[in-house]
Amino acid sequence: MRKILIVNSSTRIHASQSRAMTGFFQEIWKMNNPNDEFIFRDVGLQPIPHIDDNWIKAAFIKPEDRTIDNQKPLELSNLLVDEIKSADIYVIGVPMYNWSIPSSLKAYIDQIMRINETWKFRSGEPDGDYVGLLEDKKLFVLSARGDNGYASNEHNAHMNFQTTYLQTVFKIMGVADIKIFSIDNEEYGGEKLENSRKEIFAKIADIKY
């Protein structure tokens, strides 16, 4: 039995393309894998607090020096880190807001991107040589975007701080198996959007489960 963590980050509900994708993903996955377990985290409708000075001080205390008192600012973060460690597969539904990710998803990532918990420095000293601690995980990024051409070498690739950012931070945390499915052309609507939806939903349905 595998555990799938689904994270939704859209502030919209019924009109959200990314929520439609995560819902479809869950439906198809459950049909093919009835014994797998789902965990849900909705940072779009139930925002995660931003980190603060007390959080940062607590996070950089070495594991051997941690006490109950100096770790109190990390209580929610610890819960989120345990949650992501326990899951085998991550599914993130993410709209593109101003060419990047929603601030609520950034707040969530700041809470889980923890030194000596989800990543570390190989030498133990700050040297830019990162080692990810989330091993043998898979990530599916289900993104929605108003325009098109955001993939590598396409005309809007230089403005894509959405999926490129997610790939970067999750790779630093050790997740090497990352698949991206993007519904484009939302701002155009009509046939352009519908064609993009059909293409991506067909690709999701064709995932090897």
Reported as a single tens digit per residue, the pLDDT across 146-194 is 999 999 999 999 999 999 999 999 999 999 999 999 999 999 999 999 9
Give residue 37's pLDDT: 98
Distance (Å, whole) CA 162 – CA 143:
8
Does the pLDDT of residue 125 top 90, yes or no? no
**Which residues lie closer than 8 Å to 67 by C-beta, 6 or more apart?**
none
Mean pLDDT taken over the chain: 95
Could you list the residues known to form a binding site for FMN, using ranges: 10, 16-18
Give residue 66's pLDDT: 87
Could you list the residues known to form a binding site, using ranges: 10, 16-18
Tokens of 87: 């899951």
Looking at residue 110, its amino acid is D
Beta partners for 41?
A: 7
Tokens of 190: 């009509």
Give residue 142's pLDDT: 98
Q: Structurally, what CATH architecture does the domain formed by 3-206 represent?
A: 3-Layer(aba) Sandwich (3.40)
Tokens of 10: 């859209």
pLDDT band at 73 (very low <50, low <70, confident <90, very high): very high
Give residue 64's pLDDT: 86
**Around Cβ 107, how many Cβ atoms within 10 Å?**
16
- Backbone φ and ψ for 152, nearest 5 degrees, come out as -55, 130
Distance (Å, whole) CA 142 – CA 183:
8
119-121/130-132 β-pairing: antiparallel
**Around Cβ 52, how many Cβ atoms within 10 Å?**
9
Distance (Å, whole) CA 26 – CA 33:
10
- Taking the CA of residue 3 as centre, how many other CA atoms within 13 Å lie in the half-sphere pointing to its CB? 11
Does the pLDDT of residue 62 top 90, yes or no? no
Q: Where are the domains of the chain?
A: 3-206
pLDDT digits (tens, 9 = 90+) for 137-153: 999 999 999 999 999 99
Q: What percent of the chain has a predicted confidence (pLDDT) above 70?
A: 100
Distance (Å, whole) CA 155 – CA 77:
38
Does the pLDDT of residue 114 top 90, yes or no? yes
Does the pLDDT of residue 123 top 90, yes or no? no
